[in-house]
Chains A and B, each alone.
Chain A
């Protein structure tokens, strides 16, 4: 499965669900597809997209919250899977783009998932039950609807090709971090948990 195709599929299902992404090329691709609206916060520091979404999800139990991370980012934050399992925020969906590499620096910069670490098994081992690995767009299409609507917490591990060239549609850098964060927080205040 090609990462930009998966990103497009996710963007189609996402609607306006507040989403925080880790860094990496997927951020640029999601930006290319969704633009700089205020419902996606791009480029969170590496291990923190998921914990930030976890706090947000607990504070907003009626609102779906999505964290989008690379395998490298999640490997840096494995402990948070234990915290998610422990507190079980049903409205949290974690999507891991597992390309078995730190592909921002080239496909040959492999991560531990290339040598056998199974992030879905880790999530299950922590006690998270709704964990699905998808390897094709058809599988992703089937699971994305439920994973963004039905009670979780969900962990979707999307196995994608390790592609290190950015999407050609990407034309500009994402906006200033402070400005973007304030936009995101204002959007959250306005949406008021719905």
Chain B
């Protein structure tokens, strides 16, 4: 590699920006700890306003190799490939991205690839922005259509239990699964 090529690595990250106070980093920490406790060592993400604190912690965590993808359907394919390579993988993305990913999710179902999808902006509870209308309209219907098991978080306290059980489902049934994260879980009022 030539001297001027810039390859992404944890040691090359930019100076951290100040953490926004409206995010619940304690909850994000519990989420990432649960992923790690349950064997997730590889993650893919594309930035999102709700999942931002989880994404920050993933990028900073030396125990989880994290890739920022160029679009989330690509990211799901990357996560599926990493799963085939023996890594338990998760992808963190805005709910809209499930709408971009119908085909690759269908492929993951048919080829029986366990992959954990963490997506924001479900249509349940507290989603207030009008401009997320299409996002809300697409997330759950696509998962329903493909019969991908998912759980909508309602209480931060349930995170360790839900992650443990959903990974059990994912590995046992060899299927993609999803955790949908409404804004109030990670963003304070």
Contact status B74-A181, CB under 8 Å: no
> What would 11 A/B residue contacts be, using CB atoms closer than 8 Å?
A45-B107, A52-B84, A55-B67, A56-B84, A83-B78, A86-B7, A87-B8, A129-B1, A181-B113, A185-B113, A188-B86
Question: Which residues 105-123 of B sit at the A interface, judged by CB distance below 8 A?
Answer: 107, 110-113
1/0 per residue, CB under 8 A from B, across A50-79: the answer is 011111111110000000000000000101
Question: Which residues 50-81 of B sit at the A interface, judged by CB distance below 8 A?
Answer: 65, 67-71, 73-75, 77-81
> In whole angstroms, what is the CA distance A190 to B185 when docked?
41
> In whole angstroms, what is the CA distance A57 to B7 when docked?
16
Contact status A77-B74, CB under 8 Å: yes
A184 contacts the other chain (CB 8 A): yes
Contact status A48-B79, CB under 8 Å: no
Contact status A51-B81, CB under 8 Å: yes
B18 contacts the other chain (CB 8 A): no
**Residue B69 contacts which of A45, A83, A181, A189 (CB distance < 8 angstroms)?**
A83
**Residue B83 contacts which of A53, A54, A55, A88 (CB distance < 8 angstroms)?**
A55
**Residue A58 contacts which of B67, B74, B103 (CB distance < 8 angstroms)?**
B67
> In whole angstroms, what is the CA distance A7 to B7 when docked?
32
Residue among B77, B79, B82, B111 with max Cβ neighbours from chain A (10 Å) = B77
Contact status B8-A86, CB under 8 Å: yes
B5 contacts the other chain (CB 8 A): yes
1/0 per residue, CB under 8 A from A, across B132-154: the answer is 00000000000000000000000
> In whole angstroms, what is the CA distance A193 to B82 when docked?
12
B66 to chain A, nearest CB (A): 10
> In whole angstroms, what is the CA distance A45 to B76 when docked?
13
Contact status A58-B82, CB under 8 Å: yes
> In whole angstroms, what is the CA distance A91 to B56 when docked?
28
Q: Which residues of A contact B (CB under 8 A)?
A: 44-45, 47-48, 51-60, 77, 79-80, 82-83, 85-88, 127, 129, 177-178, 181-182, 184-185, 188-189, 192-193
Contact status B5-A52, CB under 8 Å: no
Contact status B74-A51, CB under 8 Å: yes
> In whole angstroms, what is the CA distance A81 to B144 when docked?
32
Contact status A188-B82, CB under 8 Å: no
> In whole angstroms, what is the CA distance A184 to B84 when docked?
9
Contact status A59-B87, CB under 8 Å: yes
Q: Which residues of B contact A (CB under 8 A)?
A: 1-2, 5-8, 42, 44, 65, 67-71, 73-75, 77-87, 89, 103-104, 107, 110-113
Contact status A193-B81, CB under 8 Å: no
Q: Which residues of A contact B75 (CB under 8 A)?
A: 51
**Known A86-B8, A177-B111, A193-B86; contact A80-B70, beta-carbon cutoff 8 A:** yes
**Known A52-B77, A88-B1, A177-B110; contact A59-B104, beta-carbon cutoff 8 A:** no
A192 to chain B, nearest CB (A): 8
> In whole angstroms, what is the CA distance A129 to B1 when docked?
7
Contact status B78-A52, CB under 8 Å: yes
**Known A45-B104, A87-B8; contact A185-B84, beta-carbon cutoff 8 A:** yes
Contact status A83-B86, CB under 8 Å: no
Q: Which residues of A contact B74 (CB under 8 A)?
A: 47-48, 51, 77, 79-80, 83
B170 to chain A, nearest CB (A): 15
B166 to chain A, nearest CB (A): 20
Contact status B111-A58, CB under 8 Å: no
The 6 lowest CB-CB distance pairs between A and B, nearest first, are A59-B85, A55-B81, A79-B70, A181-B111, A51-B77, A55-B82
> In whole angstroms, what is the CA distance A96 to B51 when docked?
36
Q: Which residues of A contact B83 (CB under 8 A)?
A: 55, 59
